[in-house]
């Protein structure tokens, strides 16, 4: 009598249009963070980059640039970033 094969648990990607089904929960999380707009800090998914950046700009958990979405550890870091970006635009 042949041994029964155990069903392999898969982790399907929740994003519409993505048909991947990953082998492990770790693979699933890496895929979500690398291939889709996913906020690791809040564990939320977004349909597009604009929605993701808007989330970060409006969230109390993030200190991020409202233009490019870059994250910073402090408000001073964000302030320096904005000054540098505005200087680079002024010099063009």
Task: Give the residue extent of every domain in the chain.
Answer: 9-60, 62-92
Tell me what pLDDT residue 86 has: 73
SS3 at position 56? helix
How far apart, in whole angstroms, are the C-alpha atoms of residue 92 and residue 86?
10
Residue 91's pLDDT band, with cuts at 50, 70 and 90, is: low
Tell me what pLDDT residue 9 has: 78
What phi and psi, each to the nearest 5 degrees, are found at residue 82? Answer: -65, -40
Tokens 């082998």 — which residue? 23
Whole-prediction pTM: 0.64
Longest dimension (CA), the chain: 78
Tell me what pLDDT residue 79 has: 94
Half-sphere exposure at residue 87, Cβ-oriented, CA atoms within 13 angstroms: 6
């Amino acid at each position: 009598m042949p041994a029964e094969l155990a069903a392999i648990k898969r982790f399907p990607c929740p994003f519409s249009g993505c048909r991947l089904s990953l082998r492990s929960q770790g693979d699933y999380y890496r895929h979500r963070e690398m291939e889709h707009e996913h906020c690791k800090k809040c564990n939320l998914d977004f349909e597009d980059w604009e929605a993701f950046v808007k989330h970060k700009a409006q969230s109390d958990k993030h200190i991020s640039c409202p233009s490019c979405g870059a994250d910073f550890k402090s408000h001073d870091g964000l302030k320096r970033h904005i000054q540098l970006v505005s200087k680079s635009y002024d010099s063009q």
